Structures are given as C-alpha cells and as structure tokens.
Chains A and B, each alone.
Chain A
Amino acid sequence: MADVVTTIDEPRIRPEWLLGGAVTLLGAIIIIVVTLVIGAGEDEPAVVPADATELTAGTCAEDLRQPHWVPDAVRRAVAECPADISAGIGRTTAEDHLGTWITYTLPGADNVETFRGGPGLAWPEEEVRSGAYHPASAITFVAYPGSAELSDELSGDNVTVETQDLKESGQDVRVTRVDNNGFGPVRLEWTDDAGSYVLLGTIGRTPTGNAGPTVAELIRIADSVAAEDE
C-alpha cells in the first residue's frame, strides 16, 4: 500500500487583502473621529420646559401666580422680588406693596443686544437709522399680589387702548399699544382674585426683521397665568 502524502498549504494572506483591510480600517477611524469632532461642537440638545413656571423654580418667585406658557424659544427668566427692588431704590418704600418682576429674555439674532460701546459718532448714521443698534429683547411680567387696580391708562396720538377677552381664562385684559408703524411697546394689564398684573414687550424694528414678541404671544402668555388654578 502506497503511502499517501497530503500536503496542506498554509493559508497565505495576500498583500492586496492586507491593503484593503488597512484602508477600510483607516476609513472607519476617520469617520468615527470626524463624527466625534462635529458632535462635540454642537450645543446640548435644548430642553423645552413643560411649563414656564419651571423657569423660576428655586427663586423667590416660584410660588407666584405667573405665566405657564412663554414662547418655546425662551430658556431663561430672571426673577426680582420685593427685597431686590427695594434695595435698588434705596429702601424707600414698604416691601409689602412692591411688585415681583420676572424678565424672560428672548433668543435669536434679532433679539440680541447690538450696542458696541455707548451711543456716539462711532455708530454710523445709516446703521442707527436702520435699527441696527438696539437693546436685547425681553418680556417683562410684573405681579402685584393683593392688588385690585390697574395703572393709569395711557393716551396719545400713537396709543390705542382696547379690552380683550382671554379665551382660556375668561379674564379681560387691557391692551395698550404704542403703535409706531407696527412697532413699539405693548402693555397688557389685568386683575384677578389674587392681584393685578402687567406684561410688557416691545415689537422692535431691526434691519433684518422684527425683534421681540408678537401681540398674539403676549396675549397667550397673559392667558396662561390663570392656568395655575386649573
């Protein structure tokens, strides 16, 4: 019986496979690195508060009757309480009659303050005329707990005052608008069983569009205040 000799070739790694594998690995590494770098430059995903009162949580205003809705883009509110206000005016009046202020700052390019230094000749005339130099846009809410009155009604050729019904809460709100060709301050004032309130915003004119809230947004904010009771 003849011996059978079986020769088993050792598997050989062909050079082109090595090259292809290295290229694939390098490509994968590049993709991972680029993805990580781009991802690191992005902001944290914005967390939209479910209720606007969360914006004042932990402040002296957290128990105040206040808006439950603000425009979705609003991420920050500054609360100032009677003690803060009193200190700002030299403690000349009793704190129990002072209002509590909440200022909601609005994001977006048109809402950012554009002053660079104080007003003067360094501000080009054409840019000034176009509205390029403007303050930051904000919505101011002031509550006077226990109060039952509104402030004196404003008047003027460019002032319109009307009473509107708030759909959700059923409250009447006095809307005072200084209408300068569609721009200018808008004040909403109303009372309920807990106090009286002022909501102020300015529809600002900028070179690229409007700054500030819309009248509809202000009305919705006012309407949301009474939602606390629901």
Chain B
Amino acid sequence: MPTTRTWLQAGGGTVAAALIVAAVVQAMNSSATWVSNDPVGECGKTSGGEVVAAQNVLSAATGLKPVDGSWDSESEVATKAFQAYNGLPVNGCVDTSTWVTMRALAISVCDPEYSCQGPDHRIRYAAPGGSREAYFAENDCDWGSYVQPGLARSPVASNKVIALSRDAVTEIECGG
C-alpha cells in the first residue's frame, strides 16, 4: 500500500513532467508561429494580426503603405509582386509557402543566444536613397510585428509589438 509520501512524490513528479512538456510545446509553437499561420488575403483572413505581419513584410519588400491590418487591393498586388520575384505561385494569397519565404528573410538583431527586449528580428531591403525595413519580435508565446512610424495607420500603432496570431489588432501579451 503506497504511503502518503509516495503519493505526494508521484504527484509532484507528474506536475513537474507536465510543466516541462508544456514548456517544450510552447517553445515549439513559438518557433513555428510564423511558418504555419492562417492564409492571409482573399483566400483567408483579411484583418487582424496576421494581416499586419504580412503587410509589414510587404512594406519592406515592395514599399506597400500603409500597414493597417486591413487587406486591400494594394496588399494583394504587393503580395503578387513578392511571390513572382521569389519564384512562388502568383496568387495574391499569403499561404504557407509565402509565409515561410517571408520568415527566411528575417534576421536576428541580437546574438542568437541572447533574448532581446522588444523587436529582435529585422527584414531589410536596400532601396534607392536608403533602405526599407520591417521589424518583428519573437516573444515567449507568439511573434509580433513592430511597425515603424510613417507606415502604421490606425488601428495599428507604431512602435508597439502587435501580436501575430490574434484575430484583432492587439499588442502582444504572453500568459494572458
């Protein structure tokens, strides 16, 4: 007959194991959040955090303005231009292949082993007279878009980290 102490040890071990599994799953989801998003565009979502993320990349890649989290014909043309240049099927839909291609362009701003505060990934395109840039933040629970002033339009606020996987345009919050 197991003693109370044995039960407590077993229970504690189970809880610890569950916490470890949860942490691993969370970390895997965090890494995968960018490459397994919902489709964006006429084929999928037309508003929300994923639209902000796609528009943020497109602003750097094609000069799309503004970034407002609302899909429109300009966003679709920009997507088609991005897809054509990158060898993707040209359909105006930010599908998984397009997400992956966008993700590959994002370079860590900080040492890979260091956890930056705020925006920690950057997409940079050389442009006549300067550059076009988009920033992102890989938080514990989600990726976020960091839209620069001059590009953001309401409801997207500039210099805030907008959660990528939320249906609405909201600032990122982990653990909430």
Residues of A at the B interface (CB closer than 8 Å) are 78, 85, 88-90, 92-93, 97-99, 101, 103, 105, 113, 115, 118-121, 123, 125, 128-131, 133-136, 138, 140, 142, 144, 146-152, 154-159, 176, 178, 180-185, 187, 196, 198, 200, 202-206, 211
Tell me what chain B mostly uses at the interface: helix, strand, loop, or mixed. Answer: mixed
**Closest A residue by C-beta to B130:** A78
Give the B interface residue count (CB, 8 A).
54
Please pick, from B101, B105, B110, B117, the residue contacting A158 in the complex, using a CB distance under 8 A. Answer: B101
Instruction: Write out the residue numbers on chain B whose beta carbons fall within 8 Å of the beta carbon of A120.
Output: 73-74, 77
For the complex, what is the distance from the CA of A115 to the CA of B117, rounded to whole Å? 34
Say yes or no: A89 contacts B135, CB within 8 Å. yes
Say yes or no: B80 contacts A150, CB within 8 Å. no
Interface residue B168 (Cβ < 8 Å from any Cβ of A): no
For the complex, what is the distance from the CA of A26 to the CA of B73, rounded to whole Å? 64
Instruction: Write out the residue numbers on chain B whose beta carbons fall within 8 Å of the beta carbon of A123.
Output: 77, 81
Q: How far is the CB of A124 from chain B (nearest CB, A)?
A: 10
Say yes or no: A92 contacts B107, CB within 8 Å. no
For the complex, what is the distance from the CA of A2 to the CA of B110, rounded to whole Å? 116
Please pick, from B84, B113, B133, the residue contacting A128 in the complex, using a CB distance under 8 A. Answer: B84
Please pick, from B63, B100, B128, B159, the residue contacting A118 in the complex, using a CB distance under 8 A. Answer: B63
Instruction: Write out the residue numbers on chain A whose beta carbons fall within 8 Å of the beta carbon of B64.
Output: 118-119
Say yes or no: B109 contacts A98, CB within 8 Å. yes
Say yes or no: A198 contacts B108, CB within 8 Å. yes
Q: How far is the CB of B92 from chain A (nearest CB, A)?
A: 9
Say yes or no: B105 contacts A206, CB within 8 Å. no
Q: A88-B133, A183-B86, A205-B87 are in contact. Are A97 and B110 (CB under 8 A)?
A: yes
For the complex, what is the distance from the CA of A176 to the CA of B103, rounded to whole Å? 12
Say yes or no: B128 contacts A136, CB within 8 Å. yes
Say yes or no: A135 contacts B127, CB within 8 Å. yes
Please pick, from A105, A146, A154, A204, the residue contacting B111 in the complex, using a CB distance under 8 A. Answer: A146
Instruction: Write out the residue numbers on chain B whose beta carbons fall within 8 Å of the beta carbon of A149.
Output: 111-113
Instruction: Write out the residue numbers on chain B whose beta carbons fall within 8 Å of the beta carbon of A150.
Output: 112
